[in-house]
Amino acid sequence: GRNPTDRVTGEPLFVGYGVGADGKLNADVKGRIVLMLSAEPVIEGGVKLPTSRERQKLLAGAGAAAVLVVPPPGAPWGGMRAQIATGSMRLASDDIGAPIGGLVRGDVADTLLRTARLSVLDAQLRAANLDFAPVTLPVTLDLATSTSVRAFESHNVIGKIPGSKPGSGAVLLLGHWDHFGICRSEEAEDRICNGAVDNASGMAVLLTVAERLARGAPVERDVYFMGTTAEERGLLGAYYFADHPVVPLKDIAVALNVDTVAIAPAGAPVALVGRGENGLDSIVDDIAKSLGRAVDSDTEANAFIRRQDGWALGAKGVKSIMAGGSFSDMKLLQAFLTTVYHQPDDELT
């Protein structure tokens, strides 16, 4: 339904992270141009807020005419711009977003905020306070966009190995099969983002585990294997499954996400994305030690908890974890994330 061309003029309202400590919007944004910080903060008192995606949906649902997102300082603008250029994606069942949406480059955001005597860093610090109040920036923006929309179908792929003891619940192993496809212009020598590490490696593990379990004696619980679609576009396949599960979510004892496993060398310490979040730490640690693996017991890997499919299930109450060696060596992981990640160079060598 919406006209593909939209235009709005007005003074932007800087809303910080967009919500208060109660997770509700901190301003009346109907008809407004909204400037919002995208970082995933923990505000004063250790309160965790909804994700940037969730906050943008809240603002759009409240009638914002435009939602402009400010990336964290130091975020790689070139990579973000390239990703935006390929378009965004949403589920057909999702409420439509704000008429105008987009990212604001850091220096532009700084210029806008300085009209209210704020820098991006000042704005982040102030927005983290429980008493933060949105600020109207004394500058007029005139925004216009033209949107092309294409509808298409994609699929989660799900298999099942029945358990030997009906009624004992289920285990779900999942990984995402999607990537970006053609991701460079026609002039480029290599145009295809293959996604060998992210996440062909995870799908290889998933298929190998399924094959071995199918050959062996049945376990008590049903075991489901799911390849999700559109993880790279906002965990869309996982969110769809969470809303339309093929097995009642209350019956899933644990969801084990397998993503980006081919970074650390064999035998690397086992890290846990979600440590301290769901009471499964000791089980994972004991199994790792029984296999002769060291355990990385810090919580550094939790920085990725909202960036993987298990988050969509965890939000519905399913105990979800992602364990492995790739998230134990942050220098090694960052070397991947800042070079071949989401690029054509993520391929078999």
Can you say whether the dihedral through the CA atoms of 285, 298, 279, 39 is positive or negative? negative
Q: Which two tokens stand for residue 92?
A: 């057909």
Q: What is the dihedral angle through the alpha carbons of 242, 247, 248, 252, rounded to the nearest 10 degrees?
A: -90
DSSP secondary structure letter of residue 347: S
Q: Where in the chain is the domain with CATH 3.50.30?
A: 5-146
Strands (E) located in the chain: 5-10, 13-14, 33-37, 42-43, 47-48, 66-70, 100-103, 135-136, 141-146, 157-161, 170-176, 181-182, 192-193, 222-228, 252-257, 271-273, 320-324
Q: Extract the tokens encoding 335.
A: 């070397």
Predicted confidence at residue 44, as pLDDT, reads: 63
Model confidence pLDDT, tens digit, residues 120-139:
888 888 888 878 999 999 99
Cβ atoms of 209 and 173 within 8 Å: the answer is yes
| CATH code 3.40.630.10 region(s) in the chain | 157-337
The tokens describing 60, both together, are 């759009």
Q: What is the rounded distance in angstroms from the CA atom of residue 106 to the CA atom of residue 108? A: 5
Hey, which residues does 228 pair with through a beta bridge?
A: 176
| pLDDT computed for residue 42 by the predictor | 62
Q: Tell me the angle at which helices 120-127 and 106-114 cross, rounded to the nearest 10 degrees.
A: 70
Residue 311's nearest CA partner among 54, 32, 33 is 54
DSSP code of residue 200: I
Q: Which pLDDT value is given to residue 54?
A: 84
Q: For each of the chain's 349 residues, which pLDDT tens digit applies?
A: 455 678 999 999 999 999 988 888 999 999 999 999 987 766 666 667 788 888 998 999 999 999 999 988 777 777 677 667 777 888 888 766 788 988 999 889 999 999 999 988 888 888 888 789 999 999 999 999 888 888 899 999 999 999 999 999 999 999 999 998 888 778 888 889 889 999 999 999 999 999 999 999 989 999 999 999 999 988 999 999 999 999 999 999 999 999 999 898 889 999 999 999 889 999 999 999 999 999 999 999 998 888 899 999 998 999 999 999 999 999 999 899 888 888 898 988 7
Tokens of 266: 């064999």
Q: Which CATH number fits domain 5-146: 3.10.28, 3.50.30, 1.10.10, 2.50.20?
A: 3.50.30
Assigned CATH topology for domain 157-337: Aminopeptidase (3.40.630)
Given the structure tokens 């099969």, which residue do they identify?
177
* Residue 34: strand pairing partners: 13, 67
Instruction: Tell me, rounded to whole angstroms, the distance of Cα 111 from its chain centroid.
Output: 28
pLDDT value at residue 1? 46
Q: How far apart are CA 311 and CA 307, in angstroms?
A: 7
- Give the DSSP letter of residue 41: -
* Residue matched to tokens 């999942």: 174
